[in-house]
Structure 1
């Protein structure tokens, strides 16, 4: 890699890590371009040479802060003895972490990121390849997928191949489980729940299990 490219990557990381620090100290809603630039030791104009939108900075910083989720999802899935069980465990891990850190998951999976959001996920792992070191090869493709509707498809495809899920029900299971999670997450983010986060997680996972049980049995 040429010196200029190395310098650009180094600068890019300065801004991402500065954003991480602000999130940890003040919360993701307090992140601004000026704060990040000041924390990194540069001006706002320099920052805009590397990031076209504030949402992109939040996305990359949130990804840094979700490393615990990436580590856990491999552990959860490895406990499953069949593709369908692995799919359920993947959801269990996703719900556990997302309801614990809803703002971070919103920044990564729900926030409007403008054009080509899938490119941001690829860019992240190109910049932080160490985050994938302990992730099994069969799981890695789903981690590069930002669209929640597509993340679980590979595991569901394997469940169909194993005869655990009717092929005709694959799309319904995928869409229904994702819509349940998105709906509950929106309620959490907008303070529209009449119960606590732990209950929200438990109910979401209960609905997801029910959908899978009914549709897998058809």
Structure 2
């Protein structure tokens, strides 16, 4: 890595770390370019040399909060005996954490980031190598490094297809409906449309997801 690349990476981290501090101190809704610049000790114009818009900084800062989910996930999935069990357990863990911090997960998975959000995620893990967790199974690594919710949990479903538990079409339907249910619940929680705490939202979401999976099992 050249000196210029090292300097760019260092500056990039300054601004992301400043954004993280603002989220912790004032909440994600109060993150602005001016606040980030002040916290990092630079002017606002400098930030645009490294980031296209504030949503990208919020996205990068929010990714740090996924560590709680990442830490729990391997042990959580070990409770499952089959790939389909592991699929359900991964979603249960994901729901629990996302409904506890809906603004964070909205910033990562639902907010408008413009073009190529996958490239943003790739860049994040290039800078924060320690957050990739080298000692994880392939299915968990896919969950951690795939921005698209429609593909991040397909590994377990694909294994279920190979085992004859699901057909290709059924796996696709389960995946699509699961994502849509989670998205709907997260938006409901964010907009205070129903008075549900994180535990109640998780239980309600997983009730629907379990019903969907059980409806499509070929082997009961």
Normalising by the residue count of structure 2, what TM-score does the alignment of the two structures yield? 0.95
Question: Aligned equivalents of 2:195 and 2:8: distance in 1?
Answer: 47
- Checking the alignment, whether the CA contact within 8 Å between 1:73 and 1:93 is kept in structure 2 is yes
Question: Aligned equivalents of 2:65 and 2:143: distance in 1?
Answer: 18
- Checking the alignment, whether the CA contact within 8 Å between 2:189 and 2:196 is kept in structure 1 is no
- Checking the alignment, whether the CA contact within 8 Å between 1:121 and 1:146 is kept in structure 2 is yes
Structure 1 residues 79-107: Cα deviation after superposition (integer angstroms, max 9, x where no partner): 22211111011101100100001000000
2:154 paired residue number: 153
Secondary structure of 2:12's aligned partner: helix
Unmatched 5+ residue regions in structure 2?
none
Question: Aligned equivalents of 1:54 and 1:67: distance in 2?
Answer: 22
How much has 1:135 moved relative to structure 2? Answer: 2.7
Unmatched 5+ residue regions in structure 1?
none
1:109 paired residue number: 109
How much has 1:175 moved relative to structure 2? Answer: 0.7
1:89 paired residue number: 89
Question: Aligned equivalents of 1:194 and 1:39: distance in 2?
Answer: 35
Secondary structure of 1:79's aligned partner: coil
Question: Aligned equivalents of 2:168 and 2:145: distance in 1?
Answer: 24
How much has 1:165 moved relative to structure 2? Answer: 1.6
- Checking the alignment, whether the CA contact within 8 Å between 1:71 and 1:135 is kept in structure 2 is no
User: Structure 1 residues 25, 126: CA separation in 2 closer, same or farther (over 3 Å shift)?
Assistant: same
Secondary structure of 2:217's aligned partner: helix
Question: Aligned equivalents of 1:4 and 1:196: distance in 2?
Answer: 47
Question: Aligned equivalents of 2:55 and 2:16: distance in 1?
Answer: 12
Normalising by the residue count of structure 1, what TM-score does the alignment of the two structures yield? 0.96
Secondary structure of 1:66's aligned partner: helix
